[in-house]
Structure 1
């Protein structure tokens, strides 16, 4: 069996949202392939410590802040690599590369840097996942007020909505989904539905949000562009990872009026449950835009909210 090598890699952000990629130099494994900068975790180092050291040695920059994000494994011919990905939102210094043959700043929507190192390629889709997901509650506030709230939210930067209306019958849900999708298309926003994958496909939305029961019964990843899973414990999160979902919601972080009987897990427990997983984890439960920094520090990719989503127009994180 190949030895396991721990590697730290950084998604280094520029103010305009682009991130840095490096092209592997001749004489290395996979020469000419693009990768996220980073390197091997040495003995006695944490992945975060290794990342800071490697980025200083490779690029000459100082990491001011890094957030744990994903952990993915890949089997190469020479080794089994466990990649600890961090987002690096704040750093300083002039980029002066010492190991790559070329550097490039890219956006997740672009595919200008090809070929990508195999273990790095799937990261692009994770980077496309919006940081804030609004969840509908039209049955509570009314369909027209919900649609008006959606219009305002999309206009002010909301990039993803989950339709969650367990009280609607299929016909009503179809009509509501059509109204939501029409408004989302104007702003190129993602529409998910908390329903069966079959219904999601029939309605033509972008993806499905599997509830925890559907997740545990699902045998293979649904054939939709976006697949999310709602999770409450580590067993469900690991099931979601094996299924190959694009992201998971984890909570409730705090007590909510939607699920008053469920105790909030808090940020410390959130971090424990979310660590070491290969897909983005989105925090859920009694949260809003003001919880963004706490969520990121706890290892969350972003936040999902019901009531908090519609009070946050104009302040959605990116």
Structure 2
């Protein structure tokens, strides 16, 4: 099977919007939308290929970029590796140098456009931030809600409402308050029995590894318009997450943690091995903080997740 290595870009403007382009009808997957980029030549550095392609296609010069996600996809006639970078700074005014229509869209608007199947994980990665806050479990409700409000005001856009003491009515009440604080500002991820799904339509759901093992064979429990995540700790659970068609996972523990001191850390090298081929965003968890984001990106992760390192109140 023919193998093609492609450098692609999630280009963000100063207002946070993302640039997408429509493929010519005569191209493979013609008429669909895509993230700009092109083929990496034999022996060519990926970042060099990205800059070259964007200069040719859009007339811009990339000045700041970082790895975002790698996606492997098999079509009937070819195998494609999409090496995706997030471009956060450039010079020049983007234009369709090859006549292709361009449009700037918000991350939410991406779902309104038809992309090739291989681009679906890129849409998820482009829509997610690089930090995932997990709330502490030992705080009184007023203190927790005040801290959550402060975190959102500080720029946190993805929050998991942790449920360390089981799934009880108190958690449900807290979830209602948290949903109100997050509305229009951050994506809230809840935990709990899947029977609760209908009670919190605006929230995503973060499955425990036990739930993943129990429900993976049944497939995704709700449509793609709603975020589904899972906690993974090894290759078997990552395979189950793929089977359940989750949108992203947390992978832990990377390093020793105070929360789970008995857990054997994976280490950075093993984390990098586990990420390869998963094709969905991965947040690294356990003994990591904001200062580890660059290392996580280099390994192919979406970013980092945590409790203490992200909780400022």
Whether the TM-score (by the shorter chain) exceeds 0.5 is yes
- Alignment partners' CA distance in 1, 2:280 and 2:173: 32
Question: Which region of structure 1 is more displaced relative to structure 2, 154-163 or 122-131?
Answer: 122-131
Q: Note the alpha carbon deviations across 1:264-290, whole angstroms, 9 max, x for none.
A: 334343222212322111111123333
Q: CA deviation at 1:26?
A: 5.2
Change (3 A) 1:30 1:205: closer
2:296 matches 1:295? yes
* TM-score scaled by length of structure 2: 0.84
Determine the structure 1 residue equivalent to 2:263.
Answer: 262
- Alignment partners' CA distance in 1, 2:32 and 2:5: 19
Determine the structure 2 residue equivalent to 1:233.
Answer: 234
- Give the unaligned 5+ runs of structure 2: none
- Alignment partners' CA distance in 2, 1:226 and 1:31: 28
Change (3 A) 1:280 1:122: closer
Determine the structure 2 residue equivalent to 1:209.
Answer: 206
Q: Note the alpha carbon deviations across 1:162-211, whole angstroms, 9 max, x for none.
A: 122221452222222222222222x4422212323223444556122112
- Alignment partners' CA distance in 2, 1:274 and 1:141: 33
Determine the structure 2 residue equivalent to 1:135.
Answer: 134
Question: Which region of structure 1 is more displaced relative to structure 2, 107-116 or 215-224?
Answer: 107-116
**2:11–2:18 CA contact under 8 A, matched in 1:** yes
- Alignment partners' CA distance in 2, 1:9 and 1:17: 18
- Alignment partners' CA distance in 1, 2:205 and 2:111: 29
Q: CA deviation at 1:246?
A: 0.6
| Secondary structure class of the residue paired with 2:222 | coil
2:15 matches 1:55? no
**2:257–2:286 CA contact under 8 A, matched in 1:** yes
**2:20–2:102 CA contact under 8 A, matched in 1:** yes
Determine the structure 1 residue equivalent to 2:248.
Answer: 247
Q: CA deviation at 1:226?
A: 1.4
2:198 matches 1:166? no
Question: Which region of structure 1 is more displaced relative to structure 2, 23-32 or 167-176?
Answer: 23-32
Change (3 A) 1:241 1:127: same
Determine the structure 1 residue equivalent to 2:145.
Answer: 147
Determine the structure 2 residue equivalent to 1:316.
Answer: none
Determine the structure 2 residue equivalent to 1:25.
Answer: 24
Q: CA deviation at 1:259?
A: 0.5
Aligned pair count reads: 308
Change (3 A) 1:257 1:34: same
Change (3 A) 1:133 1:38: same
Change (3 A) 1:163 1:221: same
| Secondary structure class of the residue paired with 1:307 | coil
**2:66–2:297 CA contact under 8 A, matched in 1:** no
| Secondary structure class of the residue paired with 1:221 | coil
1:193 to 186, 190, 195: 190
**1:24–1:100 CA contact under 8 A, matched in 2:** no
Q: Note the alpha carbon deviations across 1:191-250, whole angstroms, 9 max, x for none.
A: 212323223444556122112222123211122611101111233223212321010101
Change (3 A) 1:201 1:47: farther
* TM-score scaled by length of structure 1: 0.83
- Give the unaligned 5+ runs of structure 1: 314-318
